[in-house]
């Protein structure tokens, strides 16, 4: 009897080691598909190890193995958050891993591997990503589709489906390859699944190459020349009162160099001003005088004080030094810029550094007038991680923005993969709305992105400036801009189509 027990225990141990190894392999493949590695091909088969682990598992085990995979993936993806808060990082990882766990639970309940399964799995993943992007104010970081931000032909479908369509396509291939590799399925069933996934990929690629190489309709509009400034100020210096003059001096020096290119607009990053301008008028006066000196409109990030409230804002100054407009950040960082449900979570002020910032109320469209341009050019600003939320960019585009600007401060996360992961979102916002996007970072990654998602110019972790001519597209808005997340409803239908028959059968 004892040898039998020893054999069974060793067998169970080997199976457990195999399962955990496959979970880790899945997480590693997905990590490799994102920055710093950018091996986007890994995402197309990264879930295969997890699918093999889930074979024959009951619901509890399916959830736990998937949850374990999620913990490894998120720990390897948002490790940089420890530069802000270690307890907060651990809590966020454990929370985000839940979505992997629920995904494994759905896979275990989906029944036999059929065409229905092949559509259900990517649809369920997309719905979970969508839920994660909105629940508890949302955290749409490292979406599966973002792994393809350098794969230009594939991401062009985002102007129809949003980033969700790219996530769907990548997961569809994962599910299809797993279905085809299964030895217990008929050749006919394998052919059906293979042809379905191949057709979706080919149609996406055909559309992608068409969008990349078609001649855009610019309606003979004059290109706009933009300069972005990256002063590379360390986070620990940002609000040190002793170095305010030094910080302004750095921005002034770089801006003078950029002004020699005669741009139509110069952009400073989020919170570039180390002073609250309304409370320290001497700095505001210096800034206005400097703008008159360079005789160029200036967009800058600043903390603004108004009626005892503080706003994370973008200010536009004319070349004469007068204020042309202000945008107050609409989507604040929870547990970073404010505390949701403060009566309950007030204790978190001792865990993470939390500011007291008020919500903006208006979708501000800035108007930029130049001597030789008729009509004037409109643009909108996304502050910090607002470029992660497609609905914001879409609304700005619907209101007439001709190009988008993202001003950000990624100095919190040091020299890590965080700024590159952040850049992925900006690429998709440009493609979804078919608008050029200029990105100005305090440090990290400043860039110019074309409406096709091509990164035209990039400055990473360096002090300097970039000046680029941006071609302005016509007024015809993209399908996604006009109709939004219709694709999410399609995924919901696919999920119901996959789940309801399974429950009825049981």
Place 291 in a pLDDT band, splitting at 50, 70 and 90.
Answer: very high
Average pLDDT, the chain: 89
Q: Give residue 13's pLDDT.
A: 54
Alpha helices, DSSP H, located in 371-472: 390-398, 418-433
Report cis status (omega within 30 of 0) of the bond before 139: no
Q: What is the CATH number of domain 224-475?
A: 3.60.110.10
**Tell me: the pLDDT tens digits for 128-176?**
999 999 998 999 999 999 999 999 999 999 999 999 999 999 999 999 9
Residue 23 pLDDT greater than 60, yes or no: yes
Encode pLDDT of 455-488 as tens digits: 998 988 999 999 999 988 777 789 999 999 999 9
* SS3 at position 437: strand
Each residue of 45-81: pLDDT tens digit? 999 999 999 988 999 999 999 999 999 999 999 999 9
For the annotated catalytic residues, the residue numbers are 270, 329, 384
Q: What is the pLDDT of residue 283?
A: 92
Q: Find the range with the poorest average confidence among 71-75, 168-172, 356-360, 390-394.
A: 356-360
Q: What tokens were used for 414?
A: 């040091």
Q: Are 104 and 62 in contact (CB under 8 A)?
A: yes
Q: Of residues 224 and 349, which shows the higher confidence score?
A: 224
- 338 has pLDDT over 80: no
Q: What percent of the chain has pLDDT over 70?
A: 89
Q: Average of pLDDT values for 198-223?
A: 85
**Backbone phi, psi, residue 321, to 5°:** 90, 5
The dihedral sign for the CA sequence 407, 411, 412, 415: positive
Q: How confident is the model at residue 89 (pLDDT cuts 50, 70, 90)?
A: very high
Cis check for the bond before 375: say yes or no (omega within 30 of 0): yes
pLDDT value, residue 353: 46
Is the per-residue pLDDT at 215 higher than 70?
Answer: no
Burial environment of residue 352 by CB neighbours within 10 A (0 to 12, 13 to 18, 19 or more) = middle
Which of 294, 318, 323, 435 minimizes the C-alpha distance to 368?
318
β-bridge partners, 299? 267, 316
- Interatomic CA distance for residues 318 and 102, integer angstroms: 51
pLDDT of residue 65: 97
43: three-class secondary structure by DSSP: helix
Q: What is the pLDDT of residue 218?
A: 54
For position 330, what pLDDT does the model report?
94
């Amino acid at each position: 009897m004892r040898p039998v027990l020893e054999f069974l225990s060793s067998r169970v141990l080997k199976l457990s080691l195999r399962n955990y190894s496959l979970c880790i392999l899945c997480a590693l493949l997905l990590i490799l598909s994102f920055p710093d590695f950018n091996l986007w091909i890994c995402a197309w088969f990264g879930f295969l190890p997890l699918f093999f682990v889930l074979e024959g598992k009951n619901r509890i085990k399916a959830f736990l193995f998937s949850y374990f995979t999620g913990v490894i993936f998120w720990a390897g993806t948002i490790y940089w958050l420890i530069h802000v808060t270690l307890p907060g990082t651990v809590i966020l990882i454990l929370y985000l891993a839940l979505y992997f766990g629920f995904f494994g639970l759905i896979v275990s309940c989906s029944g036999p591997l059929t065409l229905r399964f092949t559509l259900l799995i990517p649809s369920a993943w997309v719905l979970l990503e969508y839920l994660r992007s909105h629940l508890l104010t949302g955290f749409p970081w490292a979406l599966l589709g973002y792994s393809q931000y350098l794969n230009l032909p594939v991401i062009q479908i985002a102007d129809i489906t949003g980033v969700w369509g790219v996530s769907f396509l990548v997961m569809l291939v994962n599910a299809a390859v797993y279905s085809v590799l299964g030895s217990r399925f008929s050749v006919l069933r394998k052919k059906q699944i293979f042809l379905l996934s191949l057709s979706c990929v080919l149609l996406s690629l055909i559309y992608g190459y068409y969008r990349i190489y078609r001649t855009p309709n610019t309606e003979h509009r004059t290109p706009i020349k933009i300069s972005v400034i990256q002063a590379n100020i360390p986070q620990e210096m940002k609000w040190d009162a002793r170095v305010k003059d030094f910080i302004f001096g750095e921005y002034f020096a770089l801006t003078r160099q950029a002004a020699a290119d005669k741009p139509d607009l110069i952009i400073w990053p989020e919170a570039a001003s180390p002073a609250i301008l309304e409370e320290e008028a001497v700095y505001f006066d210096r800034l206005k005088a400097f703008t008159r000196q360079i005789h160029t409109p200036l967009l800058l990030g600043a903390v603004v004080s108004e009626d005892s409230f503080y706003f994370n804002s973008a200010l536009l100054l004319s070349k004469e030094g007068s204020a042309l407009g202000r945008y107050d950040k609409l989507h604040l960082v929870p547990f970073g810029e404010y505390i949701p449900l403060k009566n309950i979570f007030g204790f978190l002020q001792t865990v993470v550094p939390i500011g007291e910032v008020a919500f903006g109320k208006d979708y501000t469209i800035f108007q930029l007038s130049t001597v030789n341009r008729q009509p004037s050019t409109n643009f909108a600003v996304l502050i910090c991680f607002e470029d992660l939320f497609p609905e914001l960019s879409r609304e700005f585009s619907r209101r007439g923005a001709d190009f988008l600007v993202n001003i950000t401060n990624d100095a919190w996360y040091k020299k890590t993969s965080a700024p590159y992961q952040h850049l992925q979102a900006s690429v998709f916002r440009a493609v979804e709305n078919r608008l050029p996007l200029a990105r100005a970072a305090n440090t990290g990654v400043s860039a110019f992105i074309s409406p096709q998602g091509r990164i035209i110019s990039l400055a990473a972790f360096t002090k300097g400036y970039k000046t680029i001519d941006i071609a302005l597209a016509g007024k015809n808005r993209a399908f996604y801009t006009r109709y939004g997340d219709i694709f999410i409803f399609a995924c919901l239908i696919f999920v119901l189509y996959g789940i309801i028959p399974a429950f009825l059968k049981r």
